[in-house]
Structure 1
Amino acid sequence: MNRLLAIISILAATLLAGPAQADPADISAASRSVVRVVLAAKDGNKVAFVGHGSGFAVAPDKIVTNAHVVEIARQEQSVVIGIIPSQGGISYGGRIIAYSPDNDLALIQVLDGGRLPPLAVFGGPVADGADVVAVGYPGSVDRAQGLDLDDLINPMSPVKTTGTVSGGRTTKQFDTILHTAPIASGNSGGPLIDNCGRVLGANSFGSISDGNDAEFGFAVSAREILAFLRKAGVKAGSTASPCRSAAEISQEEQQREAAARAQVEAAKQAEALKRERAETKLRTGISQDIITERENRIAMAALMLALALLAAGGAGVLMVQGKRNPAIMAAGGAAVLLLGAVITFLSRPDFSEIDDRVAAALQEQSGKGETPTSITAAGRYQCTINPQRSRITVSQENELPIEWTEGGCVNGRTQYGRDGAKWSRIFVPNEEQTITISSFQPDRSEFTEERYLMGLEAMTKARAIRAQYGNRACTTDDKALADIEDMVKAIRAELPSQANERLVYECKKPAQ
């Protein structure tokens, strides 16, 4: 029994120590960009299904697929290309605009005004053993479901299969990635993506060529794809930042926040101890001063009393000698000295004055302290991304200039609203399927951008919420500011718990 428990413990530890799994939100977001590429032959009013493959958007109106998928469309004028998105209710026509059989790549122009969310291509090295996901439309799944032509031309979610990289290969004179994610006929042209949803390659063929599903898959590498797109004059989004899980970033931020709070608390305690010591020293000095003042005034009062007695005695002697006027003057002096002695004694400082003097001294010291500068002052700031704190999946901006005003106006045109300790604004564009929350936190000199890659249904709902509030420019109107705050809260409530991308910028005023 103990041996069994030990084995289970070892296995559990091994599993827990394994690589992080793909984030479902990122894989789902990548699936929005994957399409079914259908080829059909037209003969008058008749349409015959010729075949299909997969593809993915690299620009809103451009699709990458395999050259062999669309080869027949180049050879036969009667064969047309259909682009079937993974979501929505509309399909589009397609036209080949670039063709490269040497590395099995083709580029399709989406017709009929179709627009799709493009995928980012990962331009960095792919580690051997890295997790990958193949996304596409395998024909074996279609056959198992009994789908017919009418079903194939309707939008549906692509199939996702997972595997690992088994190494790079140079096959047929072009670079490929060998992987174990299951693929079948129909996956051709679909993307091979990493755990962050970036394109690593385009699935091209399997290790078995007799018509059966392949145990290993070969994907045309991202290097080949980027070179092909550059030659075609298409600038695709690309990034070389390592893939980091949202959970990892979130955990690191929580640890950072905890460390920052502990540091602030330690600084407060150190400052409190410093003030306590300074106050103790100040109180000791003031107490000694008061004791000295009391002793000095008592001594002065005693001296004046002694002089008053001498003057009174002298007045008595002068009066006996018949020297009336000098006697009166001496008696008056004695009275003045006596009164002075009484006043001096009564005006000695009381020990109860110690607290008042300490408070006054502390107030004076506080007034002389330097006023710390604040980044909330209006001005221009240069913000630089911190890659260690960021999760970069689709963006390429490393520098971000902003102009900030204390009222929450950014760059002189966009009004942000209060969002706890931050100022935030949410952006829901009409032409993209991305929701961005931009935030500026003045006390930390931080600007953040959180991007959520959403499906059509979620985008439609967010746009409806945004329409209720309008698009506010910079303003000081309390009602407008409250509307912006409410809009951020309302749309944020509809978003997933984790953003697909989170960029953290650290801001500084540029040197004059």
Structure 2
Amino acid sequence: MIALFRKALAIIALALIAAPASADPGDIDAAARGVVRVVLIDRSGDEVVPVTHGSGFAVSPTQIVTNAHVIREALLDDTLRIGIVPSEGDAATFATPIAVSPRNDLALLEITDGSLRLEPLTLAGAGLGARGGDMGEVSAVGYPMNVDLAQGLEMSDIFRAQPPVKSRGFLSGERPSRQFDTILHTAPIARGNSGGPLLDGCGRVLGVNSFGADSDGSDAEFYFAVSLRELMPFLRENEIQPRVNSLPCRSIDELNAAERARFEQQRAEAQERIAARESALREARDAARLQAQIEVMERRDNAMAIAMVLLLVAIGAAYTAGQLRTSLADKPELRNRAMIAAGVAGAALIATVIVWVTRPGYSEIEERTAALLGEDDPAPTDAGDPGASIAGDGTLICTLDTDRSRVTGARTDDVEFDWAATGCVNERTQYGLMNGDWTRVLVPGDEAAVSISTYNPDTRTFRTDRYLLGRQEMDAAREARSAYDPPACGVTDAARTVAEQQSALIAQLPDRPNERLVYSCETKRADGGSGALAAEQ
């Protein structure tokens, strides 16, 4: 039965792997936080006049990638400045080109003041930037001009922060174009999209949208993005170290389904182990009972045989004593012999009774069975059990389990922390306990992400669910976090209090996280290494 169950799980897993990853709207929205409108501004007159615009995306909090052709006019005309308008907020600012590569249509801009800091996008990694014709779903994000016109926006409106436009399509292959490597796709782009990112299903950058094929309105629409084979060297040449993630792109739904299948498999295996253990115990008990029965019956038969011999001795001695007494009249010297025979008869009779009474009874079969099974031994302690301290105190080193994780941009360093059975981490951070889960919510002040960390002492699994939020949602999360002060470790009912305090903040988060990092933890050895991240800041 378990073999069939495992086969079914394998089929499900293969189906999940084979299915193309669909874009998660939450991940595309999260990536869109770092997409900007790149505006060329004419300041030659008395008014600031926008001339044209394109798109770009952040590769660091202050550095932006776009197309070289988007800023070409500003490079030739010193009366034009490059403006950066973010997707949210009101901190529009200016940028300066620090590197331009017309050969592959790439440019790198740097924000000139500290009024604006952006959320950097994550690159999908060199391997995922060249996906050939796998028809994976992709999204183009940017600021197409035809959308602005359709909405009746004026040129001055482009100075106002607006969410970028997202369009979906599929990868269609790779083609070298105009002396550089490009990705062919079907996610619609238009004028103004140039310089915006082409994203995979996890919101990671596959390329930089550059131009479209001329279809004359009758042919199928295809579009081109500068591939990572061009972008990565360009960034390295300019000493930019972007976020790069080459892990498989799995959806949270797939992970949840896999976890349910994993749980069912573990439960089925546990039931199989219990059934096997019970069967082995029954067989062992039957064998022990048979052995006990043989031993007891053998001892019982031996005792009865001894009692019979003693009884015969008693009868013989009694008979001899009787004969000797009848001869006392004629032979008085036989008195001593008669008394000895009578004594032997009495002793043998007493021994017979004792042996008969003390012979093993049938009830001893069960007692002997229990002794053979060791059921009379004291219950074992946890002292020698290597898993006995799982729920107790200790310093843990936790390593990312990539098969159970969904990572779109977060760091994946090992995690080290001290865990106490009371839910205290690093002797200072109290985790909340609710419905059997130890959790702590982290709302940083310098990152637009909320994390829920969960630790399961029984399985030694540490998990972090990360929610990548927009500005308004992040402000609401920070406000909810400022409304309570978690108790310190050791305070009465601290775990319950933390759980209750966090509930309102957790309730306002999206239904699904953008990222899930699952770690397997082990007790740190005396000579062991250390992790680079703490479980709680």
Shorter-chain TM-score bucket reads 0.7 to 0.9
| Unmatched 5+ stretches in structure 1 | 1-16
Q: Find out whether 1:107 has 2:113 as its counterpart.
A: no
Contact 2:292–2:366, Cα closer than 8 Å, also in 1: no
Q: Which amino acid aligns with 1:121?
A: L
Superposed CA offset, 1:394-415 (max 9, x none) = 2463x62535545355567655
Pairwise CA distance, 1:95: 1.9
Out of 95, 116, 119, the residue aligned to residue 117 of structure 1 is: 119
Amino acid of the residue matched to residue 52 of structure 2?
G
What's 2:244 paired with?
238
1:287 and 1:299 mapped to 2: Cα distance? 18
Distance 1:494 1:338, change over 3 A: farther
| Secondary structure, aligned partner of 1:46 | coil
Measured in 1, the distance between the counterparts of 2:232 and 2:486 equals: 37
Q: CA deviation at 1:333?
A: 4.8
Say what the alpha-carbon RMSD is for the aligned residues.
3.7
Partner SS, residue 167 of structure 1: strand
Q: 1:47 is matched with which residue? A: 48
For residue 289 of structure 2, what is the aligned residue in structure 1? 283
Structure 1 distance, partners of 2:337, 2:19, is 112
Say which of 373, 376, 401 aligns to 2:386.
373
Which residue identity lines up with residue 100 of structure 2 in the other structure?
S
Moved more, 424-433 or 388-397: 388-397
Measure, in 2, the Cα distance between the counterparts of 1:300 and 1:222. 96
Relative distance call for 1:152 and 1:97 in structure 2 (3 A) is closer
Question: CA separation of 1:37/1:210 partners in 2, compared to 1, >3 Å: closer, same or farther?
Answer: farther
Describe the shift of the 1:231–1:361 C-alpha distance in structure 2 as closer, same or farther (beyond 3 A). Answer: same
* Number of the residue aligned with 2:32: 31
In structure 2, what residue type is equivalent to 1:373? P
Is the aligned partner of 1:402 residue 2:420?
A: no
Superposed CA offset, 1:273-314 (max 9, x none): 111111110011111112122222222333333333344444
Aligned equivalent of 1:204: 210
Of 502, 507, 510, the match for 2:516? 502
TM-score, length basis structure 1: 0.82
**Contact 1:39–1:80 under 8 Å retained in 2:** yes
SS at match of 2:408: coil
**SS of alignment partner, residue 359 of structure 2:** coil
Aligned partner of 1:57 in structure 2 is 58
Q: Deviation at 1:444?
A: 4.0
Alpha-carbon distance in 2 for matches of 1:157, 1:55:
13
SS at match of 1:133: strand
Aligned to 2:441: 426
Query: Could you tell me how far apart the structure 1 residues matched to 2:355 and 2:505 are?
Result: 75
Distance across 2 between alignment mates of 1:205 and 1:347? 103
Letter matched to residue 302 of structure 2: N
Q: Is the 8 A contact 1:30 1:197 kept in 2?
A: yes
SS at match of 2:291: helix
Equivalent residues of 1:42, 1:78 under 8 A apart: yes
Indicate whether 1:354 and 2:365 are aligned.
yes
Q: Distance in 1 between matches of 2:61 and 2:367?
A: 73
Report the Cα offset of residue 197 of structure 1.
0.6
Distance (Å, rounded) in 2 between the aligned partners of 1:146 and 1:36: 18
- Give, in angstroms, the shift of residue 492 of structure 1: 4.3
Query: Structure 1 314/209 Cα, relative in aligned 2: closer, same or farther at 3 Å?
Result: closer
What is the CA distance between 1:246 and its match in structure 2? 3.0
Of 440-449 and 192-201, the range deviating more from structure 2: 440-449
The amino acid across from 1:90 in the alignment is D
Query: Alignment partner of 1:96: what SS?
Result: strand
Aligned to 1:480: 494
Cα distance between partner residues in 2 of 1:287 and 1:489: 62
Q: Deviations over 1:342-371 (max 9, x none)?
A: 232222222233333323432257968995
The aligned counterpart of 1:12 is: none
Q: Tell me what 2:355 maps to.
A: 344
**1:81-480 correspondence to structure 2 within 5 Å:** 81-87=82-88, 89-102=89-102, 103-109=105-111, 111-123=113-125, 124=127, 125-128=130-133, 129-149=135-155, 151-208=157-214, 215-317=221-323, 319-320=325-326, 321=328, 331=342, 333-362=344-373, 363=375, 371-374=384-387, 376=390, 383-395=398-410, 397=412, 400=414, 402-407=416-421, 408=423, 416-418=431-433, 423-470=438-485, 475-477=489-491, 479-480=493-494
In 2, distance between residues paired with 1:266 and 1:188?
Answer: 59
Q: Give how far 1:115 is off.
A: 2.5
- Paired amino acid for 1:58: V
- State the alpha-carbon separation in 2 of the partners of residues 355 and 404 from structure 1: 49
The structure-2 alpha-carbon separation of the partners of 1:337 and 1:386, relative to structure 1 and needing over 3 Å to count, comes to same
Identical amino acids, percent of aligned pairs: 42
Alpha-carbon distance in 2 for matches of 1:96, 1:332:
126
Output the amino acid matched with 1:346.
V
Whether contact under 8 Å (2:21, 2:136) holds in the other structure is no
Structure 2, gaps ≥5 residues long: 1-17, 528-537
Shift of 1:460: 3.1
Counterpart code for 1:93? T
In 2, are the aligned partners of 1:402 and 1:410 still within 8 Å (CA)? no
Q: 1:92 to 1:110 in 2, by over 3 A?
A: farther
State how far apart, in whole Å, the 1-side matches of 2:300 and 2:167 are: 91
How far, CA to CA, are the matches of 1:458 and 1:326 in structure 2?
115
Matching residue's letter, 2:192: G
Task: Give me the whole-angstrom Cα distance separating, in 2, the residues matched to 1:468 and 1:275.
Answer: 57
* Structure 1 residues 311 and 493, CA gap change in structure 2 (3 angstroms): farther
3-state secondary structure, aligned to 2:193: coil
Does residue 93 of structure 2 align to residue 67 of structure 1? no
Distance 1:114 1:471 in 2: 32
> Contact 1:472/1:480 (CA < 8 Å) preserved in 2?
yes
The number of residues matched between the two structures is 492
Distance 1:385 1:258 in 2: 22
Contact kept, 8 Å, 2:84 with 2:95, in 1: the verdict is: no
Decide whether the 8 Å contact of 2:49 with 2:156 is kept in 1. Answer: no
Q: CA deviation at 1:437?
A: 3.3
Match of 1:254, SS? helix
Give 1:500's aligned amino acid. Answer: N
Q: Is the 8 A contact 2:463 2:517 kept in 1?
A: yes
Give distance in 2, aligned partners of 1:503 and 1:485. 21
Per the TM alignment, residue 380 of structure 1 is displaced from its structure 2 partner at its CA by 5.7
Indicate how the Cα distance of structure 1 residues 480 and 465 shifts in structure 2: closer, same or farther if over 3 A, else same.
farther
CA contact (8 A) 1:301 1:344 kept: yes
**Could you tell me how far apart the structure 2 residues matched to 1:223 and 1:414 are?**
44
